[in-house]
């Protein structure tokens, strides 16, 4: 069974960062603008913030994670906990900066290897290991390998996930949710309009870039999603 029990029965909301999708921002100012988005997300009560920024070096991602953790100190989610900061792929950065977990790509280090390393460091008490999955087989493998949660998608069409193939759809999401014993977070084209259908299919939460990064009124968006039933 999963170790994950946060969010008090409400859907887990995860803002996945991507500074390259920020509109009207010059490249030289993108990181400062992203940090502002991270701070707003934490203050709005987003449960998780995943530092994605795959093109940045480990040092640069560490600086973003450090800044996100400072924002976390001022945050409070709907169940009274603090926003959790996750680092995409870089386990070394996640452990060095003391973040709340690492998020692995489908072809990153095997989850069993990561879990064993984290266990040996004595960090497992409050450190989550998640995996992005794009098929039922990958989801089953990640869950059996010890992942605390999985991202599954793209559920709907979205430019940022086009490289992962055609949308999986709600029926495949439902199939995955029924097949694994860890929380499934739906990702890919998530909107306020289709979020209820994802949760009805069995998803434990929702992950998105544009839904949170481009929201004109992020606190209202978060409140609306938190009112949905898991």
Which residues on adjacent β-strands are paired with residue 131? 104, 150
Please identify which residue in the block is written with the tokens 């306020």: 192
pLDDT for residue 2: 52
**Residue 106 clears pLDDT 90, i.e. is over it:** no
Is pLDDT larger for residue 20 or for residue 206?
206
Please give the average per-residue pLDDT across 18-42, as a whole number.
87
Q: How many CA atoms lie within 13 A of 9 on its CB side?
A: 2
Structural domains for the chain: 12-226 (3.20.20.70)
What rounded mean pLDDT belongs to the chain? 90
Record the pTM. Answer: 0.92
- CB burial of 103-128 (b: ≥16 within 10 Å; e: otherwise) equals bbebebeebeebbeebeeeeeeeebb
Of 32-46, 109-123, 142-156, 206-220, the range with the lowest mean pLDDT is 109-123
Is pLDDT larger for residue 100 or for residue 80?
100
pLDDT for residue 146: 94
Cβ pair 180, 2 in contact under 8 A: no
pLDDT for residue 1: 44
- Reply yes or no: is the peptide bond before residue 154 cis, omega within 30 of 0: yes
Please give the average per-residue pLDDT across 24-39, as a whole number.
84
pLDDT in tens, 113-147: 999 999 888 766 789 999 999 999 999 999 999 99
* Cα separation, 75 vs 93, whole angstroms: 22
pLDDT in tens, 137-179: 999 999 999 999 999 999 998 876 566 668 999 999 999 999 9
147: which 2 tokens?
Answer: 């992942």
Share of the chain above pLDDT 70, in %: 90
Helical residues (DSSP H) of the chain, grouped into ranges: 30-44, 58-72, 91-97, 111-120, 136-145, 169-179, 195-200, 210-213, 218-226
């Amino acid at each position: 069974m999963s170790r994950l029990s946060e969010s008090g029965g409400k859907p887990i909301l995860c803002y996945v960062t991507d500074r390259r999708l920020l509109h009207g921002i010059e490249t030289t100012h993108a990181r400062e603008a992203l940090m502002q988005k991270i701070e707003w997300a934490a203050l709005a009560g987003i449960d998780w913030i995943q530092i994605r920024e795959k093109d940045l070096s480990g040092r640069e991602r560490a600086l973003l994670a450090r800044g996100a953790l400072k924002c976390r100190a001022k945050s409070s989610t709907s169940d009274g906990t603090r926003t959790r900061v996750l680092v995409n792929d870089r386990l070394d950065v996640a452990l060095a900066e003391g973040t709340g977990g690492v998020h692995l790509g489908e072809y990153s280090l095997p989850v069993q290897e990561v879990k064993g390393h984290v266990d040996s460091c004595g960090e497992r008490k409050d450190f989550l290991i998640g995996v992005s999955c794009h098929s039922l087989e990958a989801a089953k493998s990640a869950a059996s390998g010890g992942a605390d949660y999985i991202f599954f998608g793209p559920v709907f069409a979205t430019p940022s996930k086009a490289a992962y193939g055609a949308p999986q759809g709600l029926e495949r999401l439902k199939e995955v949710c029924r097949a694994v014993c860890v929380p499934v977070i739906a990702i890919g084209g998530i909107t306020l309009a289709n979020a209820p259908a994802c949760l009805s299919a069995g998803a434990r939460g929702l992950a998105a870039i544009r839904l949170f990064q481009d929201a004109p009124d992020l606190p209202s968006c978060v409140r609306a999603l938190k009112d949905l039933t898991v």
